[in-house]
Amino acid sequence: MFMEGDVRIPSGCAISGIINRKRRSFSGTKIIDSIAVMHDRSNGLGGGFAAYGIYPEYKNHYAFHMFFDSLQAKEEVERFFNSHFAVDLSGRIPTRKVCGIGRGPILWRYFMTPLEDKLRDAELSADEYVAQCVMKINSCYKGAFVASSGKNMGAFKAVGFPEDVGEYYRLDEYSGYIWTAHGRFPTNTPGWWGGAHPFTLLDWSVVHNGEISSYDANRRYLEMFDYQCTLQTDTEAITYTFDLLLRKHGLPLDLAVKTVAAPFWESIDRMDEQEKRVVKALRTTYSSLLINGPFSIILGSKNGFMALNDRLKLRSLVAAEDKEELYVASEEAAIRAVCANPEKVWSPQGGEPIIGLLEGVESL
């Protein structure tokens, strides 16, 4: 079986995102209808969704969505879980038969909290403890993959067109207040279940259209902070980059954006002295985290999402607002499929973030 990094197929992808800022949940049918409009942007080798607010009854638990290639891998990981977490509920992720989705891995989910004595001995925050466990599973347990690990959220992905993936995972039966979606046309991979988007860590999720040329520089820098890019794909590196900048280093979102999509030097020269010093410091300190190449991404979190283009806007990205809802997508048609007459539609400039936050929160 071909894995990530073995195949190169140059092309594009589709992304879409919807947030209700007032936390009014809506069915997954809406995001499926949006991404389905862009069917021709993908080729059936990967589709996926991230959903937030879908597990309110377990909102304080880390919800692990797992892929297992074998029962042996499942048993080994469950021994690891039982020695590091209090597992309050586990079970098969519900699916239905869909002709467009072939046989995949064993799909299981676990609702867990870290064991108090393990946290105390490790002297880590709960989030850092969970992040390290995710890295260990993905790098050390053959045949096991953590699809998502955040609270009150989950990633649902597979090999197939995104609308088929949504039907397969029965997303019409889920309700959430933030949804993102991806239709994949792999650029450097053959397409497999773990390689489909979104890529996640804790409650971060990233869907990505494009191909970054800075992957190796980004990966090497991230490895110095104990991130392990086991899938050899640029979207994984983007996810870990934002986790490092926002969670670990505590940068404000606007400075994180100026790090990954830094202004050109001629633009920096025209800034006032204070802003110039800040941006120059970012470019010096985080030079290896500059993301080069064409991209448009949606970064999801428990507090909202951010959509961002590369500095030259080499990938399409459109946004729209209607009352308390914000929409972003690769094409305007994907927005109008679910919101026929939005109050405002616009196309952001390259490097300009579109930020949608839940009511009452100040940052992702």
Q: Which residues pair with 296 in a beta bridge?
A: 209, 309
- Has 13 been annotated as catalytic? yes
- CA distances to 66, 189, 323 from 10, rounded to whole Å, are 29, 10, 38
Give the distance, in angstroms, between the CA of residue 278 and the centroid of all CA atoms in the same chain: 28
Other CB atoms closer than 10 Å to residue 57's CB: what's the count?
Answer: 9
CB-based contact 206:184 (threshold 8 Å) = no
Q: How far apart are CA 146 and CA 199, in angstroms?
A: 10
Report the 3 state secondary structure along the chain.
CCCCCCCCCCCCCEEEEEEECCCCCEECHHHHHHHHCCHHHCCCCCEEEEEECCCHHHCCCEEEEEEECCHHHHHHHHHHHHHHEEEEEEEECCCCCCCCCCCCCEEEEEEEEECHHHHHHHCCCHHHHHHHHHHHHHHHCCCEEEEECCECEEEEEECCCHHHHHHHCCHHHCEECEEEEEECCCCCCCCCHHHCCCEEECCEEEEEEECCCCHHHHHHHHHCCCCCCCCCCHHHHHHHHHHHHHHHCCCCHHHHHHHHCCCCHHHHHCCCHHHHHHHHHHHHHCHHHCCCCCEEEEEEECCEEEEEECCCCCCCCEEEEECCEEEEECCHHHHHCCCCCCCEEECCCCCCCEEEECCCCCCC
Selected catalytic residue, list 13, 133, 229, 339: 13
Catalytic (active-site) positions: 13
